[in-house]
Amino acid sequence: MSKNIAIIGAGLSGLTAAHALKDAASITLFDKSRGVGGRMSTRYAGDYEFDHGAQFFTARDPRFQNAVEIAIEQGLVAPWNGRAFYKKDTGLEPDTGGDRFVAVPRMNSWAKSMAEGLDISLGARVSRLLRADGQWNLQFEDGQMKGGFDAVISAVPSVQAEALLPADFSAMEAIKATKMDACFALMIGLDQGHDFGWDSLRVNDNVNDWLAVNSSKPGRNEHVTTLMIHSAAEWSNAHANADRAWVQAEMEASASRICGIDISAAPHRVLHRWLYASVSASPRQGALHDPALNVTACGDWCLGGRVEGAYLSGLAAADNILSNA
Ligand SMILES: Cc1cc2nc3c(=O)[nH]c(=O)nc-3n(C[C@H](O)[C@H](O)[C@H](O)COP(=O)(O)OP(=O)(O)OC[C@H]3O[C@@H](n4cnc5c(N)ncnc54)[C@H](O)[C@@H]3O)c2cc1C
């Protein structure tokens, strides 16, 4: 069994792998951000708060269902029974999928709880992995090094894994073949209560594909109305580097038509760009493991994206390491 394991990325996949391995090895996590949770994230602005990454999650695999049930008992997750619709040319149609869950009181709350008791370095962007005498050394963007790891788990989006992992990583082709899409997240805070008749709306108007009343989720501040708007993948990819003011204006114009109010007049309007939000081509393999190098890649992209995929991929990464011990 490897003794010292470095996990790069403290999103749900990295945190899940850390929990599955922590009794068998010494684990250190590194994340470039100021907080944990990765794309299960929350932005604050006064009374307004927004889950500007993952909106909700479903649980189909029994292992994830079990984790969600435990988190519900712990008060970290709750069902979101919002009014969910598709906007069709003919009107609104119910958006029927599996039960929807959110972390409470914010989307990053579950990850924060998972992080407790783990050894995590934040603000630590790993830029290179170097191998010497059979061990891995991590080089950070500020030039510092941290060494002595027997194994490394990369739990970052595929494009970032491609840049980070050694060129001779056995599954590099599968990483390169993965495709992740961009998404713009427009956060709108309204100064008075609004009932749009829906709490989430899937739309197909080329610019936006998702609108949600963030304040309708359990545990959120219900004294303000917050609206979360996501741009469609194809449009986001095409305009990922476009002028942000133009992107925001296009999204606001589309959202105004859909909502029936002038979104550009809202008192709080902030745009965020996710370069790697969702997954449109995936290896469909729990995790990618190179036993010769003692390097494993995991993340939502291994299993087609989404929160459930991130959890299952983190478990698979840990399984690979434990079964090769
Ligand atoms: C806009 C948007 C909407 C979404 N909606 C949904 C949804 O409704 N339902 C759903 O199930 N899923 C949704 N998702 C996807 C969901 O958020 C992800 O599937 C899941 O959170 C991914 O977890 P992860 O651990 O694989 O990766 P991440 O959460 O991305 O974690 C990776 C971590 O690695 C860190 N990192 C990256 N590079 C480095 C480096 N070089 N050094 C150190 N740290 C690094 C990052 O800071 C990050 O914290 C959405 C995502 C976005 C962005």
Supply the CATH number for residue 258's domain. Answer: 3.90.660.10
Tell me if 115 is assigned to some domain. Answer: no
Domain that holds residue 321: 1-34+122-177+283-325
Is the domain of 183 the same as that of 265?
yes
Dist. CA 306 → ligand 1 center (Å)? 8
β strands within the chain, DSSP E: 4-8, 26-30, 43-45, 48-50, 77-79, 84-88, 91-94, 101-103, 119-121, 126-132, 135-140, 145-149, 151-154, 179-190, 200-202, 208-213, 225-231, 268-281, 288-290, 295-297
Is the domain of 225 the same as that of 95?
yes
Is the domain of 160 the same as that of 98?
no
Dist. CA 277 → ligand 1 center (Å)? 7
Is the domain of 77 the same as that of 7?
no
Is the CB of 217 within 6 Å of ligand 1? no
Is the domain of 215 the same as that of 321?
no
Is the domain of 96 the same as that of 197?
yes
Q: How far is residue 74's CA from residue 72's CA, in Å, rounded to a whole number?
A: 5
Is the domain of 212 the same as that of 316?
no
Tell me if 112 is assigned to some domain. Answer: no
Q: How far is residue 283's CA from residue 169's CA, in Å, rounded to a whole number?
A: 15
Tell me if 264 is assigned to some domain. Answer: yes
The pLDDT value recorded for residue 89 is 87
The pLDDT value recorded for residue 1 is 56
Is the domain of 49 the same as that of 21?
no
Is the domain of 185 the same as that of 263?
yes
Is the CB of 32 within 6 Å of ligand 1? yes
Is the CB of 51 within 6 Å of ligand 1? no
Is the domain of 185 the same as that of 224?
yes
Is the CB of 125 within 6 Å of ligand 1? yes
Is the domain of 24 the same as that of 139?
yes
Dist. CA 40 → ligand 1 center (Å)? 6
Tell me if 309 is assigned to some domain. Answer: yes
Which ligand 1 atom is the nearest neighbour of the CA of 277?
53
Is the CB of 160 within 6 Å of ligand 1? yes
Report the relative pairing of strands 268-281 and 179-190 from DSSP bridges: antiparallel
Secondary structure of 79-114 in HEC code, one letter for each residue: ECCCCEEEEECCEEEECCCCCCEEECCCCCHHHHHH
Tell me if 114 is assigned to some domain. Answer: no
Closest Cα partner for 12 from 71, 73, 99, 100? 71
The pLDDT value recorded for residue 184 is 98
The pLDDT value recorded for residue 28 is 98
Is the CB of 299 within 6 Å of ligand 1? yes
Is the domain of 183 the same as that of 246?
yes
Q: What predicted TM-score, i.e. pTM, was given to this entire model?
A: 0.98
Please report, in tens digits, the pLDDT of each residue of the chain (325 residues total).
559 999 999 999 999 999 999 999 999 999 999 999 999 999 999 999 999 999 999 999 999 999 999 999 999 999 999 999 999 989 999 998 889 999 999 999 999 999 999 999 999 999 999 999 999 999 999 999 999 999 999 999 999 999 999 999 999 999 999 999 999 999 999 988 889 999 999 998 899 999 999 999 999 998 999 999 999 999 999 999 999 999 999 999 999 999 999 999 999 999 999 999 999 999 999 999 999 999 999 999 999 999 999 999 999 999 999 998 7
Residue 1: CATH number of its domain? 3.50.50.60
Domain count, the chain: 2
Is the CB of 297 within 6 Å of ligand 1? no
* Residue whose CA is at the smallest distance from ligand 1 atom 15: 306
Dist. CA 11 → ligand 1 center (Å)? 6
Contact criterion met (CB below 8 Å) for 211 and 201: yes
